[in-house]
Chains A and B, each alone.
Chain A
Amino acid sequence: MAKKIMHRGKAHKERVSEASVPIIEVRNLKKTYWNGNVEIPAVRSVDLTVEKGDFLAIMGHSGSGKSTLMNLLAFLDVPTSGTYKFGGESIENFDDDYLADLRNATIGFVFQQFHLLPRTSALDNVRLPLQYAGVSKQEQIERAVEALKVVGLADRMDHKPNELSGGQQQRVSIARALVNNPMLIFCDEPTGNLDSTTSHEIMEMLTALHDEGKTIIMVTHEDDVAAYAQKIIRMKDGVMV
């Protein structure tokens, strides 16, 4: 029997999940893009600490660097300089594959555009992260059904995205964010594509998850959405204000 390849993200999660240190601790974080020879500082210098159980909103106008900050915090991008400790362990200089494993094991994503696979059932969409976690098919389905129950869509799991309303699609993507039991849930403008009633429902759902102890970081430019959060930080020209 081939020895199972170690999932480095899972190992990292196991090491840090019980530690009594902040879940995120960044110091002097910088991210610079280059457009030809022109330097574009997206994030200039950010110091930030996120504790377990926080519900944090990052606010700012477009171009303020809030999305770049979220991408850095969510391991979707690597900083140009600065330190990042995740659960007390430094994550600088990790390769793409390690970061992919880390995202897979510790992070759930909720996007403005939902990003559900078209012509694919809600159940299959929700169990997608588990496919990359090396979980057996049976367990994938059990856990996906469980996550769909949490968001109240257990009766719609065979529906495809085009057969669901916008609010339902966002609930499917919340279920997908929950299915791997993440340490952090990142929401990028989670209500940006929804009407106000549905937005309220989605925010209530995120609040409920926070009440259960989930740590949530949300990017938004709407004050009434940010108001659901416990803490708000504002970004302007790449720095926190």
Chain B
Amino acid sequence: MTMIFVYIQTALKQLLKNKGRSVLTMLGIIIGIGSVIFILTIGQAAKGFLLGQITKFGTNVIEVAPAGSFGPFGGSDEAQLTEADVKAVQESSLLPEITGISAGDSSVSRTLAYQDQTVQVSIFADRPEVFSVNNYKNKGGRFFNNSDMQNNARVIVIGEGLAKDLFDTTDNAIGKEVKLGDSLFTVIGISEDSSLGPNSFGSELVYAPLSTIRQLFIDQDKQKDVTFMLVQFEQGTNVDSFKNRLSYVITENHAYFKENPDQLTVVSREQALSIFTAILVGIQAFISAVAAISLMVGGIGIMNIMLVTVKERTKEIGLRKAIGAKNASILIQFLVESVVLTTIGGLIGVALGLSLSGLAVLTANILQPDWGVQFVVVPSAILLACGTAAIVGLIFGIYPAYKASRLHPIEALRYE
């Protein structure tokens, strides 16, 4: 056991004698290990963030939409959910677990003007349940309610960020009159900013009673259209069973979807998360493959430099053999040297990867402080990376070390 420490000590001394060369040789390993650690750590942070968001807005929600409505070409005109579908779902005896439905029209965009400030907004026209279904927190004033719906009240709820932009403080925003398109609306409440709701990326969102928006902005022939539908269900519901019953109710009610069941997508948030996770794993696998190539190239570099080292130290090998080193001792000596070299490279790579991902998380937190992205160290990844580095050293060190061990003492001593 103490012998291995002697080998490691000898290896470290040897590597320190050629500092510059050692570092250059390690570069491939450093880059390979560094990028693996970086991508795994960043991936973990992204996963943690998304999981946090989804749990925050509730995992007990199913999104119903016509297929293709997410794509750039839209769906066909017939593939359109309607108020009749919402009503069918609401009243179905097959779906007792429903606790709320958010469904409305998100197709309208208008300019929102307050004094001399204007901003392009997407209008989220919905029922009052939109806030409870999405779990949005009230940050001031009140959310619109059923009486607002019945009266086609010209009221809007805006996000916290937009409120601060236009009115400096959220308190200041309540009760202010703004122009939405050509119509006057009163700001009645502030909701927390959503980072995951539909259309959340890009333009600002405002929430308004569905009835009001239909009356003011929506064409006569689209009054019954529903562009999105979120169905909230009780905790503890069997999601798969619920999803199947939900699809059944809609397809039974809607002839087009009954004929074209593939035109209806019913996706739970948990599913959305697993789709995202699959994409993330794919990206991670790709980067890892690139890193593996880098490690391979790095390993060949190690082998090259170890062959040079063996050549340079032929006399030393001859001397060591003359005074009693066995073939195995020489083999282990050079193998340990190669493994120590790559392991140090691996450790530097881990440090580099962690610093880079730490920096990336820091940047994300400066740009989007409300996202609360967390830096997560993945111990298994670090162990795996160091292990991989050591194994690279072992594999690519075997040939040079074997060559060294087979040298004949006399020839090695005479080598010039």
> Other than the known A103-B322, A111-B319, what 15 A-B pairs have Cβ atoms closer than 8 Å?
A76-B322, A76-B409, A77-B410, A96-B327, A97-B326, A97-B328, A101-B324, A101-B326, A103-B323, A105-B324, A115-B322, A119-B17, A131-B6, A132-B320, A132-B323
What is the interface of chain B mostly: helix, strand, loop, or mixed?
helix
Tell me the bound Cα distance from A119 to B320 in angstroms: 16
- Nearest first, the 9 closest Cβ-Cβ pairs linking A and B are A104-B324, A132-B324, A129-B323, A115-B319, A100-B326, A97-B326, A76-B409, A103-B324, A76-B410
A55 an interface residue at 8 Å Cβ cutoff?
Answer: no
Q: How many whole Å from A239's CB to the nearest CB in chain B?
A: 21
Contact yes or no, B324 A129, CB < 8 A: yes
Give the nearest-CB partner of A134 in chain B.
B3
Q: How many whole Å from B403's CB to the nearest CB in chain A?
A: 16
Which B residues touch A97, using CB under 8 A?
326-328
Give the nearest-CB partner of A117 in chain B.
B316
Within 377-391 of B, Cβ neighbours of A (below 8 Å) are at: none
Which B residues touch A119, using CB under 8 A?
17
Tell me the bound Cα distance from A137 to B315 in angstroms: 25
Number of chain B residues close to chain A: CB under 8 A: 22
Contact yes or no, B323 A176, CB < 8 A: yes
Central interface residue in B6, B324, B328, by most chain A CB within 10 Å: B324
- Listed A/B pairs (25) with beta-carbon separation below 8 Å: A2-B1, A76-B322, A76-B410, A96-B327, A97-B326, A97-B327, A97-B328, A100-B326, A103-B322, A103-B323, A103-B324, A104-B323, A104-B324, A105-B324, A111-B319, A111-B413, A113-B315, A115-B318, A117-B319, A128-B320, A132-B320, A132-B325, A132-B326, A133-B324, A137-B2
Per-position binary interface string of chain A over residues 78-102, scored 1 when its CB falls under 8 Å from any chain B CB and 0 otherwise: 0000000000000000001100110
Within 147-187 of A, Cβ neighbours of B (below 8 Å) are at: 176, 180
Which A residues touch B288, using CB under 8 A?
none
With contacts A100-B324, A104-B323, A105-B324 taken as known, whether A115 is within 8 angstroms of B413 at the C-beta atoms is yes
Give the nearest-CB partner of A179 in chain B.
B323
B284 an interface residue at 8 Å Cβ cutoff?
Answer: no
Tell me the bound Cα distance from A143 to B321 in angstroms: 21
Which A residues touch B322, using CB under 8 A?
76, 103, 109, 115
Which A residues touch B323, using CB under 8 A?
103-104, 109, 128-129, 132, 176
Which B residues touch A180, using CB under 8 A?
324
Tell me the bound Cα distance from A133 to B326 in angstroms: 11
Which A residues touch B247, using CB under 8 A?
none
Residues in chain A within 8 A of chain B (CB atoms) = 2, 9, 71, 76-77, 96-97, 100-101, 103-105, 109, 111, 113, 115, 117, 119-120, 128-129, 131-133, 137, 176, 180
Give the nearest-CB partner of B319 in chain A.
A115
Within 1-38 of B, Cβ neighbours of A (below 8 Å) are at: 1-2, 6, 13, 17
Give the nearest-CB partner of B10 in chain A.
A131
Which A residues touch B325, using CB under 8 A?
100, 132
Q: How many whole Å from B414's CB to the nearest CB in chain A?
A: 9
Tell me the bound Cα distance from A109 to B410 in angstroms: 12
Central interface residue in A9, A120, A176, A180, by most chain B CB within 10 Å: A120
B329 an interface residue at 8 Å Cβ cutoff?
Answer: yes
Which B residues touch A77, using CB under 8 A?
410
Q: How many whole Å from A6's CB to the nearest CB in chain B?
A: 13
Tell me the bound Cα distance from A117 to B315 in angstroms: 9
Which A residues touch B329, using CB under 8 A?
132
Which A residues touch B6, using CB under 8 A?
131
Tell me the bound Cα distance from A113 to B414 in angstroms: 10
Which B residues touch A101, using CB under 8 A?
324, 326
Q: How many whole Å from A177's CB to the nearest CB in chain B?
A: 9
Give the nearest-CB partner of A128 in chain B.
B323
Q: How many whole Å from A8's CB to the nearest CB in chain B?
A: 11
Q: How many whole Å from A179's CB to the nearest CB in chain B?
A: 9
Q: How many whole Å from B114's CB to the nearest CB in chain A?
A: 77
